[in-house]
Chains A and B, each alone.
Chain A
């Protein structure tokens, strides 16, 4: 089971900011450097870390970090 704390370490690496704390409600608007371009870095980092693959456009439908965590756990369990 991947937790918010686990995700935080990936966010720290991707955004080079160890002060980031994640809540389920966190969105891209809450993290300074999270834009459409750094988002690709996040996708690659998550895929590598958890040996999963996101389908094209799959992440665009997520509303917040909580949704992202649920999707990652679903994929990792397969």
Chain B
């Protein structure tokens, strides 16, 4: 695929997804079939995408934004988000997408660390940036997509700027190693880290869109992921459009009726969604599926967290479809291990390694373990979509590699037939409905509340979300733990971090378990919550 994909040494993702498709004769082909939450439809051709992303590239140039500078979109699913993403890549900016439910702390961490120069957002979300803007000296310009005229010299109108910008833009010949996309990801300690990718990642994203998802010229592909996450950019933008495939985008949230209506009426042929969404569909009234015609739907794929076998079995009986679970991370940039058509599914497994990808199960000392052994899931470094650094944190980046292996942070085992089976994280990071949540960040946000003296946050298994966030708090003496305080805690987390980090339960403890250094022992909290043996508690200070 790569010999056709890369022409004249041009690796620029924005160019490949638009102009290159027009030059291949797809200018009038629908690139994007857009549906509003109320199912109003708008179609955009590859030529439309080429013109509008060129306009955005030109307006960036006009604003003095240069190669290598960072900009973000902070938008719900919207056409402007996609145009800005492609246009900024054409200018060789580093472009990031911020989940629209991020609160002020999450925004400050990301915009501050990256020294972002420009943010594209909308009026109702801008209030969050306004509150922290004095702490963001590098942020020069805000573009609002839904105001007709500029609000000030540095808060500008998208319609105004776009109307004035030219539809033609000469994309520089971009090398494979030029930085491209930036997504922040949470760890168990410290602030979120900026995972930086390069334009050469398009090789792997395009290859997997073709060879795993099976996308071809006549497909209508729907990836339900929000563009705020890596799946939404790697497979909601880059992979399919690098192949000239038409994509459906629905800007509403989960709605079983609307989703099934779109799948049937629009004759979607390949669908990429998440286990949590599939589990929600499984719980819907069965009448919803009566008379549903999904004959045209060739494949369903899943990503985000492990897909439990019950969902696969439900899909076989209710939808008469297989669901192929896939595995990758923000850091890997594209699918690495997958169940896929032509390879028998082992329900509950991650699937097998893709050609050219070399996983290994390694002990903590780096020894390669034989089939059947549990250990660290690692990948031999050097695949095309491998991240190139953690922005401003190269030591953390280097710590993820040892002896040529990338340590994913996931624990797994491999069976004798080459299938990988996920066991859990090797750290405390919580995977809730496919989103990684840092317990450290939630604990820190909780401590901002004057009522809370100590906090400990864990993830525990959940039937719907895969894992749910549980917060333990020690309240200051004299303060009562009331329903009002619990609401205050929940709202604080939603508004400071994100809705995905809201604790599903907030539990009061007289004392949190700590080791002799004063560190909260999350492992002990988890064991107590689950009613399990806490294991070695010799370091417990109680």
Question: A residues touching B (Cβ–Cβ < 8 Å)?
Answer: 13-14, 16-17, 19, 27-29, 32-33, 35-38, 40-41, 44-45, 48
Contact = CB atoms under 8 A, between A and B. Distances in A.
10 contacts: A13-B491, A16-B491, A32-B101, A32-B125, A33-B494, A33-B499, A36-B254, A37-B502, A38-B494, A45-B491
Interface in B483-521: 483-484, 486-487, 490-491, 494-495, 499-500, 502
B486 A29 contact: no
Given A29-B37, A32-B100, A40-B502, A17 B490 contact: no
A17 B38 CA distance: 23
Contacts of B101: 32-33, 35, 38
Given A35-B253, A40-B490, A41-B487, 12 more contacts: A13-B491, A19-B127, A27-B37, A32-B100, A33-B494, A33-B499, A36-B254, A38-B101, A38-B499, A44-B486, A45-B491, A48-B483
Contacts of A41: 487, 490-491, 494, 502
Contacts of B499: 33, 35, 37-38
A5 B316 CA distance: 48
Contacts of B347: none
A29 B255 CA distance: 11
A32 to B, nearest CB: 5
B112 interface: no
Contacts of B76: 32
A44 B494 contact: no
A14 B494 CA distance: 9
Nearest to B104: A16
Contacts of A27: 37
B483 A44 contact: yes
B124 A29 contact: no
A36 B122 CA distance: 21
A16 B105 CA distance: 14
B232 interface: no
A48 B488 CA distance: 12
B41 to A, nearest CB: 16
Shortest 10 CB-CB contacts between residues of A and residues of B: A29-B37, A37-B499, A16-B495, A38-B499, A41-B490, A44-B487, A32-B124, A37-B502, A35-B499, A33-B101
A41 B103 CA distance: 15
B348 interface: no
B213 to A, nearest CB: 26
Q: Max chain B CB contacts within 10 Å: which of A33, A35, A38?
A: A33
A57 to B, nearest CB: 10
Nearest to B502: A37
B252 interface: yes
B431 to A, nearest CB: 15
Interface string B251-279: 01110000000000000000000000000
A37 to B, nearest CB: 4
A7 B379 CA distance: 52
Contacts of A28: 253
A29 B500 contact: no
Nearest to A48: B483
Given A38-B494, A41-B487, A29 B502 contact: no
B487 to A, nearest CB: 5
Given A37-B499, A41-B487, A29 B127 contact: no
A41 B500 CA distance: 12
Contacts of B502: 37-38, 40-41
A46 to B, nearest CB: 10
Contacts of B100: 32-33
Nearest to B484: A48
B487 A48 contact: yes
Given A35-B499, A37-B499, A45 B127 contact: no
Contacts of B253: 28-29, 35-36
Contact of A37 (B125, B484, B486, B494): B494
A35 B253 CA distance: 7
A1 B487 CA distance: 24
Contacts of A14: 491
Contacts of B491: 13-14, 16, 41, 45
A19 B124 CA distance: 8
A12 to B, nearest CB: 11
Contacts of B487: 41, 44-45, 48
Nearest to B486: A44
Contact of A17 (B127, B486, B500): B127
Nearest to A33: B101
A68 B166 CA distance: 47
A19 B122 CA distance: 13
Contacts of A44: 483, 486-487, 490
Contacts of B483: 44, 48
Contact of A29 (B38, B484, B494): B38
A27 B253 CA distance: 12
Contacts of A45: 487, 491
